[in-house]
């Protein structure tokens, strides 16, 4: 049994150099959250004919296929072909741009590693989680995390590692939920379409190293203004890249745009806050702790914002006891 939390990229991952191995064209930097989680139980049962997968109490064929493919990586490592019963649940809406695949696959790899007594290192878990969903590589670790794009064809160097502990710079995050519908175009398909059709793909790849260096320095210096500027830049650049695909990928709704404008207005008034948005319509406002009540109130006020969820930064994937799992 394991728990992992979603992460939010400040310097975005978008694009793959190898779709089968989930190798990214660029490195990325994220923060791991604490209040949102996925809890997963994996039990390998030699008598089972096929994997039995329950996600939030339901079974879905497409999701089950992805889970089985991920379990195959663990079975391969362990040299067994036992099928497994998997039970997993999130305390937040799935597939709505809140990175449920990141926490989901990080928790699955962690729980599967324990169940098979593989004793994988965190770096090895990150590599396996990456193969299930790119951003899951980062949720193996807590706090501020960088995932290297790597150079090797087999992807063993495309692994995440921690940059700074969560406690060392405890920023807060207010997530404005503007829709609970599943996203129209998933990240994998969005990235494929972008790489094939967006004229900005090469500029995106060329400029990423500089953004990573700027963000890394801002995090190590706890320089909020610098992190705010580079994070909004990376977010808007990723969306500009995806908007220029054919057909264009428009992940925002009207409320998303209003949230971004409100965050910018607050920052203009001296409030330490910035936004980021992934492949969905939710807006994540990252702020210094003393500003979080004001930021939440401002976002709640925007028509179309259904809810605002607050979270801090948290730890990486970890094992749970039975009591913690059922709590």
Least CB distance to ligand DP6 at residue 199 (A):
20
Is residue 158 a contact residue for ligand DP6 (CB under 6 A)? no
Size of the site for ligand DP6 (CB under 6 A): 15
Is residue 36 a contact residue for ligand DP6 (CB under 6 A)? no
Separation of alpha carbons 49 and 8, rounded Å: 37
Q: Which stretch binds ligand DP6 (CB under 6 A): 32-40, 68-76, 130-138, 202-210?
A: 130-138
Is residue 187 a contact residue for ligand DP6 (CB under 6 A)? yes
Burial 69-97 (b: 16+ CB within 10 A, else e): ebbebbbeebeeebbbebbbbbebbbbbb
Least CB distance to ligand DP6 at residue 45 (A):
27
Q: Could you tell me which of 31, 48, 36 has the C-alpha nearest to residue 84?
A: 48
Is residue 32 a contact residue for ligand DP6 (CB under 6 A)? no
Question: What character string, x for contact with ligand DP6 (CB under 6 A) and - otherwise, covers 42-71?
Answer: ------------------------------
Cβ contact 36:311 at 8 Å? yes
Is residue 90 a contact residue for ligand DP6 (CB under 6 A)? no
The two counts, helices (H) then strands (E), for the chain are 10, 15
Cβ contact 143:165 at 8 Å? yes
Is residue 188 a contact residue for ligand DP6 (CB under 6 A)? yes
Is residue 125 a contact residue for ligand DP6 (CB under 6 A)? no
Separation of alpha carbons 215 and 19, rounded Å: 26
Quickly count: other Cβ atoms within 10 Å of residue 59's Cβ: 12
Residue nearest to ligand DP6 (CB): 134
Q: Tokens for 14? A: 């978008």
Q: Which of 4, 9, 74, 263 binds ligand DP6 (CB under 6 A)?
A: 9
Q: Which of 134, 143, 314, 316 binds ligand DP6 (CB under 6 A)?
A: 134
Is residue 133 a contact residue for ligand DP6 (CB under 6 A)? yes
Is residue 13 a contact residue for ligand DP6 (CB under 6 A)? yes
Backbone angles phi, psi at 8, to 5 degrees: -120, 125
Pairing between β-strand 52-55 and β-strand 83-90 as defined by DSSP bridges: parallel
Cβ contact 10:227 at 8 Å? yes
Is residue 22 a contact residue for ligand DP6 (CB under 6 A)? yes
Coil, helix or strand for 141? coil
Cross-strand pairs, 89: 39
Is residue 131 a contact residue for ligand DP6 (CB under 6 A)? no
Q: Which of 63, 113, 258, 278 binds ligand DP6 (CB under 6 A)?
A: 278
Residues in touch with ligand DP6 (CB under 6 A):
9, 12-14, 22, 28, 99, 101, 133-135, 187-188, 278-279
């Amino acid at each position: 049994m394991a728990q992992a939390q979603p992460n939010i990229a400040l310097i975005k991952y978008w694009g793959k150099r190898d779709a089968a191995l989930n190798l990214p064209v660029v490195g990325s930097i994220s923060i791991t959250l604490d209040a949102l989680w996925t809890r997963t139980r994996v039990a390998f049962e030699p008598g089972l004919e096929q994997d039995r997968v329950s996600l939030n109490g339901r079974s879905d064929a497409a999701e089950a296929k992805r889970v089985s493919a991920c379990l195959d990586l663990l079975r391969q490592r362990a040299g067994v072909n036992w099928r497994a019963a998997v039970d997993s649940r999130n305390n937040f809406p799935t597939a709505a741009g809140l990175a449920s695949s990141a926490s989901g696959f990080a928790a699955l790899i962690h729980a599967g590693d324990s169940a098979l007594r593989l004793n994988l290192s965190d770096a090895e878990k990150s590599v396996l989680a990456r193969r299930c969903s790119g951003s899951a590589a980062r949720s193996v670790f807590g706090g501020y995390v960088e995932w290297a794009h790597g150079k090797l064809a087999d992807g063993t160097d495309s692994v995440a590692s921690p940059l700074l502990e969560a406690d060392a710079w405890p920023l807060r995050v207010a997530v404005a939920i503007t829709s609970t519908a599943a996203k129209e175009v998933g990240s994998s398909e969005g990235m494929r379409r972008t790489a094939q059709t967006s004229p900005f793909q090469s500029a995106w790849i060329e400029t990423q190293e500089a953004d990573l260096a700027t963000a890394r320095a801002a995090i190590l210096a706890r320089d909020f203004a610098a992190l705010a500027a580079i994070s909004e830049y990376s977010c808007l650049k990723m969306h500009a890249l995806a908007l220029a695909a054919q057909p264009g990928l428009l992940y925002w709704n009207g409320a998303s745009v209003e949230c971004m404008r409100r965050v910018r207005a607050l920052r203009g008034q001296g409030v330490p806050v910035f936004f980021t948005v992934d492949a969905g319509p939710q807006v994540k406002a990252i702020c210094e702790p003393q500003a979080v009540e004001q930021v939440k109130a401002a976002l709640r006020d925007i028509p179309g914002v259904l809810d605002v969820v607050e979270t801090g930064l948290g730890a990486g994937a970890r094992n749970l006891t039975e009591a913690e799992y059922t709590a």
